[in-house]
A = this chain, B = another copy of it.
Amino acid sequence: MRTSQLYISTLKEAPSEAELISHKLMLRAGLIKKLGSGLYTWMPLGLKVLRKVEAIVRDEMNKAGAQELLMPAVQPAELWQETGRWDLFGPQMLKITDRHDRNFCFGPTHEEVITDIARTELRSYKQLPANFYQIQVKFRDEIRPRFGVMRAREFTMKDAYSFDASFEGLQVTYGKMHQAYSNVFTRLGLKFRAVAADSGAIGGDGSHEFHVLADAGEDLLAYCPDSDFAANVELAEALAPTAPRAAPTEALRDVDTPKQTTCEDVAKLMEIGIEKTVKLIALVAGDGRFVIALIRGDHSLNEVKLSKVDGIGEFRFATDEEIRAKFNCPPGFLGPVGIAADIQVIADRTVAAMSDFVVGANKPKLHIAGVNWGRDLPEPHVVADIRNVVAGDPSPDGKGSIELCRGIEVGHIFQLRTKYSAAMNCLFVNENNQQEPMEMGCYGIGVSRIVAAAIEQNYDQRGIIFTPALAPFAVAVVAVGYHKSEAVKAAADKMYAELVAAGVDVLLDDRNERPGVMFADMELIGIPHRVTIGDKVLADGQVEYVARAGGEMQKIALGEAVAFVQQQLA
A interface, CB within 8 angstroms of B: 5-7, 9, 33, 35-36, 39-44, 46-47, 50, 65, 67-76, 91, 94, 96, 98-99, 104, 106, 113, 116-117, 120-121, 130, 132, 137, 139, 141, 143, 153-154
| Given contacts A76-B35, A113-B35, A43 and B65 within 8 Å (CB-CB) | no
10 A–B contacts from the bound complex (CB under 8 Å)? A35-B72, A35-B76, A39-B74, A41-B70, A44-B69, A73-B73, A73-B137, A74-B106, A94-B98, A98-B141
* Residues of chain B with a CB closer than 8 A to A98's CB: 94, 141
Contact between A67 and B7, CB atoms less than 8 A apart: yes
Contacting residue for A69 out of B41, B96, B99, B113, CB 8 A: B41
Contact between A71 and B41, CB atoms less than 8 A apart: yes
* Residues of chain B with a CB closer than 8 A to A47's CB: 68-70
| Given contacts A35-B116, A73-B73, A113-B41, A67 and B139 within 8 Å (CB-CB) | no
* Residues of chain B with a CB closer than 8 A to A113's CB: 35, 41
* Residues of chain B with a CB closer than 8 A to A50's CB: 70
| Given contacts A7-B130, A39-B72, A130-B7, A99 and B65 within 8 Å (CB-CB) | no
Contacting residue for A139 out of B39, B74, B76, B143, CB 8 A: B74
* Residues of chain B with a CB closer than 8 A to A44's CB: 67-69, 132
Chain copies in the assembly? 2
Contact between B91 and A96, CB atoms less than 8 A apart: no
A17 to chain B, nearest CB (A): 15
Contact between A69 and B42, CB atoms less than 8 A apart: yes
The CA of A143 and the CA of B116, in the complex, are separated in Å by 25
The CA of A5 and the CA of B40, in the complex, are separated in Å by 37
The CA of A153 and the CA of B39, in the complex, are separated in Å by 22
* Residues of chain B with a CB closer than 8 A to A104's CB: 36
* Residues of chain B with a CB closer than 8 A to A76's CB: 35-36, 39
Contact between A94 and B96, CB atoms less than 8 A apart: yes
Contacts A42-B70, A44-B69, A137-B137 known; list 13 others, CB within 8 Å: A9-B121, A35-B113, A36-B104, A40-B72, A41-B69, A41-B70, A41-B72, A44-B68, A47-B69, A47-B70, A50-B70, A73-B137, A91-B99
A359 to chain B, nearest CB (A): 49
A73 to chain B, nearest CB (A): 6
The CA of A106 and the CA of B75, in the complex, are separated in Å by 13
| Given contacts A73-B73, A94-B96, A6 and B67 within 8 Å (CB-CB) | yes
Contact between A74 and B153, CB atoms less than 8 A apart: yes
A94 to chain B, nearest CB (A): 6
* Residues of chain B with a CB closer than 8 A to A154's CB: 72-74
Residue of A5, A46, A70, A117 with most chain B CB atoms under a 10 A cut-off: A70
Contact between A35 and B71, CB atoms less than 8 A apart: yes
A206 to chain B, nearest CB (A): 26
Residue of B at shortest CB range from A127? B7
The CA of A94 and the CA of B141, in the complex, are separated in Å by 17
The CA of A143 and the CA of B102, in the complex, are separated in Å by 12
The CA of A280 and the CA of B410, in the complex, are separated in Å by 73
A95 to chain B, nearest CB (A): 8
The CA of A130 and the CA of B43, in the complex, are separated in Å by 13
The CA of A9 and the CA of B117, in the complex, are separated in Å by 12
* Residues of chain B with a CB closer than 8 A to A121's CB: 7, 9, 33
A217 to chain B, nearest CB (A): 26
A535 to chain B, nearest CB (A): 24
The CA of A40 and the CA of B73, in the complex, are separated in Å by 10
* Residues of chain B with a CB closer than 8 A to A73's CB: 73, 106, 137, 139, 154
A111 to chain B, nearest CB (A): 14
The CA of A391 and the CA of B422, in the complex, are separated in Å by 62
Contacting residue for A96 out of B46, B67, B72, B96, CB 8 A: B96
Residue of B at shortest CB range from A105? B96
Contacting residue for A41 out of B94, B117, B153, CB 8 A: B117
* Residues of chain B with a CB closer than 8 A to A39's CB: 72, 74-76
The CA of A340 and the CA of B511, in the complex, are separated in Å by 73
Residue of B at shortest CB range from A126? B512
A434 to chain B, nearest CB (A): 23
Contact between A35 and B75, CB atoms less than 8 A apart: yes
A333 to chain B, nearest CB (A): 48
